Amino acid sequence: MEDQEKKLEDMETSELVEHLYGGLFGLFADDEEYADLLQLSAALGLKRFAEERLAGLPREELLGMFEHGEEVVDEFIAFASDEGLVEENDD
């Protein structure tokens, strides 16, 4: 435990945040006791996606996404890629 505390003490703030993020994700994804929090974090991510990515699109493009749902999924994947969460495929 002392080695871990020493490692944490040597980390930059951004590294600490990244470790906490990873730990929370692991906990929420792997422990059934936290399944509700995994759903909540998904909702939070979708809300952020809508506010940061979709809200900036032209109205006509948004209307088109209601007819072609795969476009909004593609936009979501691009958003996740921009955030460094996934690698976008060029398929």
Residues in the chain: 91
Retrieve residue 1's tokens. Answer: 């435990």
What is the pLDDT, as a whole number, of residue 3?
64
In three-state secondary structure terms, 12 is coil
**Can you tell me the distance from the alpha carbon of 73 to that of 57, in angstroms, rounded to the nearest whole number?**
15
8 Å CB contact between 15 and 21: no
Q: Nearest CA to 29 among 14, 40, 16?
A: 40
8 Å CB contact between 28 and 37: yes
pTM of model > 0.75: no
Per-residue pLDDT of the chain (91 residues; tens, 9 = 90+): 556 666 888 999 999 999 999 999 999 999 999 989 999 999 999 999 999 999 999 999 999 999 999 999 999 999 999 999 988 776 5
